[in-house]
Amino acid sequence: MRVDVVTLFPELFEKFVETSFVGRAVERSILQVRFQSPRQFGLGKHQSVDDTPYGGGSGMVMRVDVLVAAMESLDAEPRARRVLLTPQGQRFDQSIAARLAAEPALMLICGRYEGFDERVRSFVDEEISLGDFVMTGGEVGAMAIIEATVRLLPGVLGNEASTHEESHAPATGGMLEYPHYTRPVEFRGMRVPEVLQGGHHAQIEKWRREQSLDRTRKRRPDLIK
């Protein structure tokens, strides 16, 4: 899989793409990550990438010509699905992560300042948001999408079955995951449930299903169908 990132701050990603399973995916050639800064296509002596908005208003707006030039400079085969990081986009979730993981190439476009010229939207395939809040740029959102997507690629995680029985996974019906325990058996009066210590697989499976359903009802009732 290839992931291209258009960002004014590629240095923010340096340690990220070297760390944990993202770094392992790069080392194993499962993942290729490329960066392009719009600054390379900026205008004038200071390589400006933004300008004042037509009609007035606060803040600066990223230029369409500069952003599109940065995006097109990364064009390669296979063509990347272009994703614009914006608070106006579709809210990111596990199903979107799974869909993006099936793409051979992604391009994540990170905005800055007050926003970007509206015409940029004509050059992307979709818009994604992490949630109903605003950050100063799309870099953190891009990292979240990379991590959630790359972990679903075959050969990235040591145990691929761990992605099947987790919160929001199709195998769990999209519900929240059941509680996990490990040693010690007792810690400050809190004990590991007896059913998990017994080794009876059918009873353990039943308990986990009940716990998953109960936890989802209490914490995310919107996920119950």
Could you tell me the pLDDT band of residue 209, with boundaries at 50, 70 and 90?
very high
- Does this chain's domain 2-150 share its CATH topology with 164-223? no
* DSSP SS3 for 199: coil
The predicted pLDDT at position 159 comes to 67
Residue range 7-16: average pLDDT? 97
Domain locations along the chain: 2-150, 164-223
104, 78 Cβ separation under 8 angstroms: yes
Question: For the structural domain made of 164-223, what CATH number should be given?
Answer: 1.10.1270.20
The predicted pLDDT at position 201 comes to 97
Q: What is the mean pLDDT of the chain?
A: 94
* pLDDT tens for each residue of 111-123: 998 899 999 999 9
Give me the sign of the Cα torsion angle 98, 101, 104, 110: positive
Give the burial class of 211: count Cβ atoms within 10 A of its Cβ; 0-12 exposed, 13-18 middle, 19 or more buried: middle
The predicted pLDDT at position 194 comes to 97
Q: How far is CA 119 from each of CA 10, 57, 62, 163, rounded to the nearest angstrom?
A: 24, 18, 11, 38
Q: Is the pLDDT of residue 225 over 90?
A: no
The predicted pLDDT at position 202 comes to 97
* pLDDT tens for each residue of 124-173: 999 999 999 999 999 999 999 999 999 999 999 876 656 666 788 877 78
Q: Is the pLDDT of residue 216 over 80?
A: yes
Phi/psi of residue 11, nearest 5 degrees: -65, -20
The predicted pLDDT at position 162 comes to 64
**Homologous superfamily of 2-150 in CATH?**
SPOUT methyltransferase, trefoil knot domain (3.40.1280.10)
The predicted pLDDT at position 160 comes to 65
Predicted TM-score (pTM) of this structure: 0.91
Which of 39-43, 162-166, 180-184 shows the lowest mean pLDDT across its residues?
162-166
Q: Which residue has the higher pLDDT, 112 or 33?
A: 33
